[in-house]
Structure 1
Amino acid sequence: MFFGGIDIAKHKHEVCIIDAEGNSVLSINIHNRKKGVDKLLSNFERLGITTDNCKFCLEATGHYWLSLYYHLTELGYEVHVINPIQSHAIRNFYIRKTKTDLKDAFILADMVRFGRLPQSELASETVMKLQTLSRHRFDLVRSVGDLKNKVLAILDRVFPEYPECFSGVFINSSKKLLQEFSSPEELADVDLSELTEFLKKHSRGRFGSDKAQQVKDLAKGTFGINLAADAYALELRLLMEQIEFVEDQINTIEEAIDQVMEEMRPSEDTEYRHVLETVPGIGPTLAAAIIGEVGDIHRFKNAKALVAFAGIDASVYASGEFEGSKNKMSKRGSPVLRHSLWMAAVSARRFNPELKEFYEKKKQEGKHSNVATGAVARKLVHMIFSLWKNNRPYQSNYKWSPDNNS
């Protein structure tokens, strides 16, 4: 029997094959290309290594492991994937604290030989779609946030009174106004009737002459600076166009996510596409993100394991008789999953009566809002685990006990 360890890198992977006694029989590096796999297979043929007598272990380094994992499993090899945190912990058991790619590959191979690795399976195509789309949406939403902060920074300099004009700087009528009139001077000089018609059109009649007059008056008496006005006006207009463009892309992604979620609908007669959508506080977009990051719920032993996977468990620091009293969220695992669960908790503490009561209870205990929300997120994960594992829609009168979460 042979055991293989593969240290993953961007361009080249280090491969180490050992026999049942732990002796190295092959140590090579291969390119992260098809020719690299061909090189590996030719060596396997020379050594008599087949799908029946060799198992592999590789470290999930970034996304670089995915192609090699896919091709090896397609060929029929048993391949285990471990988290870098796990491999780092196991590496510390070795007496000599050496760190080389070849040594790491040998350690991974040795781990397979010991036979204490979890079974690894590539996510289904539907889950991979949701993961890819949700992660890209997450990045775009963050980029929109950055762009909006830049817009607000410009307004603070050139037109600090502008936010007084609307309930939000980035509502539709305000966004269109800043694209068309990107400086207080332009707003001060525009004809009142023209500005009135512009606001009526883009606010669907909500705003009229009163709002137009307010904007003009504030623009004329602004406390903002007049230095480099043309440069600021150009930057503001381009930023608003970028925001609109990226938001259109987010809408496109959300439409694609909606189509993928339809693939998960149990039947045409089912009201929901996935049980997560039945939980108050979890809409289709958040449900898709959670499904994409979690994948198969059955790979988690209990709800606590899912909480730890999401990185919303409390990190504990204790030494001797000392035990820290201000433990923080561990924040390990997928940031997309953690963000989605947090946003779901924020929504649930308002719209889910059960979790709203739980949140208020934590607040009455003197907990900070963020701490209380973190507690809601953890309780929400217990709900998610039970509903998803049992494929049962949410019921407000259901008793969430430890027995339901294992």
Structure 2
Amino acid sequence: MLECAWAGVDIGKEHHHAVVIDTDGNRLLSRRVHNDETALLDLIDKITTLGDQVDWAVDIVTGESALLLTLLAAHHQRVFYISGTQVNRAADGYRGAGRTDAKDAAIIADQVRIRRDLSPMRIDDELIVELRMLVARRRDLAGDRVRLVNRLHQQLLSISPALERALDLTNKGPLVLLTGYQTPDALRRAGVAEVEQWLRLQKVKGAGALAVRAVTAATAQHTTLPGQRLAAELVADMAKGVITLDEQLKYIDKLIEGRFRRHHTAEILLSMSGIGPLMGATFLAATGGDMTVFDSPNHLAGYGGVAPAPRDSGRISGNLHRPRRYHRGLHHMFYTSALISIRFHEQSRIFYDRKRSEGKHHNQAVLALARRRVNVLWALLREGRTYAPAPPDHAATAA
């Protein structure tokens, strides 16, 4: 038995391909295996006998690899993650032009053998896994809502540009209105009083003002555009779809908040201005809430895309820019929470204003504040304490 061996697994939906190499990069095993428990257990038993210490690496950490990763954790195996992008870039340095699952698995194994900048993966607990699924689901629903509202705007333009301008489709009231009235003709026939009464029955806030605005817009157009009847049906259907998505988002938000508040770091995260249950859940989903994974605040800031990376060559030489690779969800959380804190936290506002006075534009000043807040958040989580505002004479400290 060898002292060390390295196993690379090219993850697939139905099958994985595993390659094991020794210290010199020689292949000890190459096997295609079904993505089911019996076959994976047999693979793990076979590979663990090849070396006293086996380091595993995978190129996907989502659903396709969930069973394998869980089994490896149960067998106390150390696993590393190498992204598909990293594998593709590394492939240029290996002999042969063809790309197969076996070659990719061999590249993954060789990369984990020679690289020293990789950290072992952490198998998250049930709560973190659930938060990650809920945050991802909410992101999908929010994206669906944005796309559907945009299509609704376009469809309403084909009926009445004036009505489209008059209605704010980000609010529930106009959406409810469009489930009952979609055309200028229908609004004019009904009149303000009837539309207002109907909206009140639907429990719409500000029914009177909305009815006046809609009927006024309807009186600005007496021309019937081609396809109006079908367009009206589509508008009503889309409006109902947006309302349904809003209800789903509210339900998901309740699930997220319930699970977030059960996490032991919830009170620490909530003590930071600008961080509520959704932002906190996004942070936990991205990091697992374990700061021991990050060597320093710089490491966490780089992962979140708020630590500038130097580019000493290229078109913009010598400047600092956002890293090319970072966690976009965590970046959004850092940036948005910093933006919110400027409105509600005096020290954050002072820090932001100082950066603006130094010539930074808005985005740069917010990113500088976000970077400063990462230091505070990292320290709070490492020390297990909530945030306490600094005295007034320490206004430069932002949180």
Give the TM-score range, shorter chain.
0.7 to 0.9
1:310 aligns with 2:304: yes
Which residue is 1:15 aligned to? 18
**CA–CA distance in structure 1, aligned partners of residues 268 and 300 of structure 2:** 17
Rounded Cα–Cα distance in structure 2 between residues aligned with 1:211 and 1:106: 64
1:384 Cα offset (Å): 2.0
1:280 is matched with which residue? Answer: 273
What is the aligned residue count? 392
Structure 2 counterpart of 1:159: 160
Find the aligned partners of 1:303 and 1:120 in 2 and give their Cα distance: 19
Cα contact 2:185–2:222 (8 A) shared by 1: no
Residues 217 and 111 of structure 1, relative CA distance in 2, 3 Å threshold: closer
The residue type paired with residue 251 of structure 2 is: T
Q: Is the 8 A contact 2:347 2:395 kept in 1?
A: no
Check conservation: 1:355, 1:376, Cα contact below 8 A: yes
Q: Which amino acid aligns with 2:157?
A: D
Query: Which residue is 2:175 aligned to?
Result: 175
CA contact (8 A) 1:276 1:282 kept: yes
Q: 1:224 to 1:170 in 2, by over 3 A?
A: farther
C-alpha change, 1:196 and 1:320, in structure 2 (3 Å) is closer
Provide, for residues 86-140 of structure 1, a one-character-per-residue CA deviation record: whole Å limited to 9, x for no partner.
5556666657787543233234334555584423221121111111111110111
State which of 294, 301, 307 in structure 1 corresponds to 2:295.
Answer: 301
Aligned partner of 2:130 in structure 1 is 129
Paired residue type of 1:367? K
Root-mean-square deviation (Å): 3.3
1:344 matched to 2:344? The reply is no
Q: Could you state the TM-score of these two structures normalised by the residue count of structure 2?
A: 0.85
Note closer, same or farther for the CA distance 1:235–1:42 as it changes in structure 2 (3 Å cut): same
1:118-172 CA-to-partner distances (Å, cap 9, x unmatched) read 2322112111111111111011111111111122223334233336656x33323
- Distance across 1 between alignment mates of 2:368 and 2:122: 31
Asked if the contact 2:44/2:72 (under 8 Å) is kept, the reply is: no
Greater CA deviation, 232-241 or 214-223?
214-223
Distance in 2, matches of 1:320 and 1:78, equals 38
How far apart are 1:286 and its partner, in Å?
0.9
Q: Deviation per CA, 1:34-54: give whole Å up to 9, x if none.
A: 354155257559xx448x553
Indicate the residue corresponding to 1:261 in structure 2.
260
Give distance in 1, aligned partners of 2:378 and 2:86. Answer: 24
- Percent of residue pairs bearing the same amino acid type: 23
**What are the equivalent positions in structure 2 for 1:65-80 lying under 5 Å apart?**
65-80=65-80
Q: How much has 1:361 moved relative to structure 2?
A: 2.8
Q: Give the structure 2 partner of residue 233 of structure 1.
A: 232
Give yes or no for contact 2:11–2:58 (8 Å, CA) kept in 1: yes
Amino acid at match of 1:4: A
The residue identity in structure 2 corresponding to 1:279 is M
Paired residue secondary structure (1:119)? coil
Find the aligned partners of 2:224 and 2:370 in 1 and give their Cα distance: 44
What is the CA–CA distance in structure 2 between the aligned matches of 1:98 and 1:319, rounded to whole Å? 32
Contact kept, 8 Å, 1:158 with 1:225, in 2: the verdict is: yes
Gaps of at least 5 residues in structure 2 are none
Q: Is the alpha carbon distance of 1:274 and 1:190 closer, same or farther for their aligned partners in structure 2, counting shifts above 3 Å?
A: same
- The residue number in structure 2 matching 1:185 is 185
Contact 1:14–1:102 under 8 Å retained in 2: yes
Query: Contact conserved, 2:335 with 2:370, CA < 8 A, in 1?
Result: yes
Q: Secondary structure at the match of 1:57?
A: strand
In the other structure, the counterpart of 1:249 is 248
- Residue type at the aligned position of 1:311: G
Q: Which residue of 2 aligns with 1:140?
A: 141
Counterparts of 1:186 and 1:331, CA distance in 2: 53
- For the pair 1:28 / 2:31, whether they are aligned, the reply is yes
Q: 1:115 to 1:347 in 2, by over 3 A?
A: closer
Aligned to 2:374: 381
CA gap of 1:310–1:217, structure 2 versus 1, over 3 A, is same
Match of 1:58 in 2: 58
| Structure-1-length-normalised TM-score | 0.83
Runs (5+) with no aligned partner, structure 1 = 267-272
